[in-house]
Amino acid sequence: MIINKLALPRRTFLRGVGATLALPLLDAMVPALTALSRTAAAPPVRLGFVFVPNGLILREFLPRTEGRGFDLPRILAPLAPYRDQLTIVSGLANAAGDALDASSGPHSRGSGCWLNGMRAKRTEGADIQAGKTIDQFAADALGRETPLASLQLALEPNFMTGNCEGGYSCAYINTLSWRTATLPLPMETNPRVVFERLFGEPGDQAARQAQLAIDRSILDGVSEDLARLQAELAPADRRTVDEYLDAIRDVEHRIRQTERRAADEPEIEADAPLGIPPVFEDHARLMFDLLLLAYRADITRVSTFQIARELSHRAYTELGVPEAHHDISHHGNRAEAVEKNTRINEFHMGLFAHLVERMHNTPDGDGTLLDNVIMLYGASFGDGNLHVPHNLPVALVGGGGGTLETGRHHKAKFDTPFMNLGLSLLDKVGAGAGVEGIGDSTGRLTGV
């Protein structure tokens, strides 16, 4: 066996003009001792939350059987190739989203408490209040070793001020992530901004803009260091780096194509920031691919992703649904409206399945990125038609580095706090130490 003598620290960066490139996990990041003792570098475990609005059609989401060998209802069908990495959890509730009186604002309450189990304060002003979210408890521990403690992504334009529903601030529906009870974190919708957060050198905007003006790749700024590194790597590590760079170039190319199209046909994106693809599905895939790069390069280990916000009025004409999503979610059990809502639910799951497929195909240590992540996919209502935050739809995808018992449907005691699962997830990714409770939690959820 040939032992490559190059040993790299896990946090290795290549820096150039206007660019900082974090490297993916390589075998060279573990010192080569002997041919018999050398092992692949141990990958980190990542945690992510993917949110869809207005509830789901539960009978098309929840398996009819428990345990292993569960059936895959229609909405889960896009995840069929990865069912051995899929865990469905039912019976959980977010009681903080319930209406305690006749006040309006169910979507704001549901979204505002989704990851913290705390009742959102009804206010239109700056005195907003909810609770620190699960992802930010994870960021406290997992973000110590990464450039970004967490990453917040979304697909719909959002704003954090004003009244969006029944006297509740727009902050409650336009973010999933709260750093503290009074500090919501903004979610980024523009792929170009995300790309530069991941790979641009902080404080060097002028250099980045000059580079863009002459149509160069951000990788050109690190080309010399990259060439020297490649010459010293073992063949397997060179292939890993080549695949990673190809993924960066692909994302960069798609962002440039979108920007050029916007420049040539500005009316296509008259109300959207530069860099957002005009086709919703293209936007979703690009943002998911950016998240994949962030995880792969260990730029962050924690994320939230809002496919659409509560009260979303987007119409899915490409699915034969000309009505606004929020409107069709109030289906009144009418067969045609239920069918249309199910199509939207299935479409959203298909977008998420793109990320799952990419993770499944991405090497990570001795396994794949999917083996070393836990992605929670869900919504803030078990019944969107009636705004009921009970029996929440929850799908966990990924192996969590071997900490998650996958490939089954776990049915919890009805109305178990959703935050109990949150505490258990923190334990599984190594971030639960010292976190005794979140929101209305009553303990850890066992059996997952």
Domains of the chain with bracketed CATH: 1-42+193-275 (no CATH), 47-189+283-288+300-448 (3.40.720)
- Alpha-carbon distance of 105 to 163, in angstroms, equals 10
Strands 315-316 and 46-51: unpaired
Are 347 and 335 in contact by the 8 Å Cβ rule? The answer is no
67 to each of 161, 345, 405, 412, how far by Cα in Å? 44, 24, 11, 11
Single out the residue of 9, 361, 23, 369 nearest to residue 199, CA to CA. Answer: 23
- Alpha-carbon distance of 291 to 104, in angstroms, equals 35
Which amino acid is located at 226 in the chain? L
305: CB partners within 8 A, 6+ apart: 48, 49, 50, 51, 153, 154, 287, 288, 291
Per-residue pLDDT of the chain (448 residues; tens, 9 = 90+): 233 456 677 666 677 656 677 888 788 876 543 433 334 457 999 999 999 999 999 999 999 999 999 999 999 999 999 999 999 999 999 999 998 765 689 999 999 999 999 999 999 999 999 999 999 999 999 999 899 999 999 999 877 667 889 999 999 999 999 999 999 999 999 999 999 999 875 545 555 555 555 556 777 777 778 888 888 888 888 888 888 888 888 888 888 888 776 666 554 444 444 568 999 999 999 999 999 999 999 999 999 999 999 999 999 999 999 999 999 999 999 999 999 999 999 999 999 999 999 999 999 989 999 999 999 999 999 999 999 999 999 999 999 999 999 999 999 999 999 999 999 999 999 999 999 999 999 999 999 9
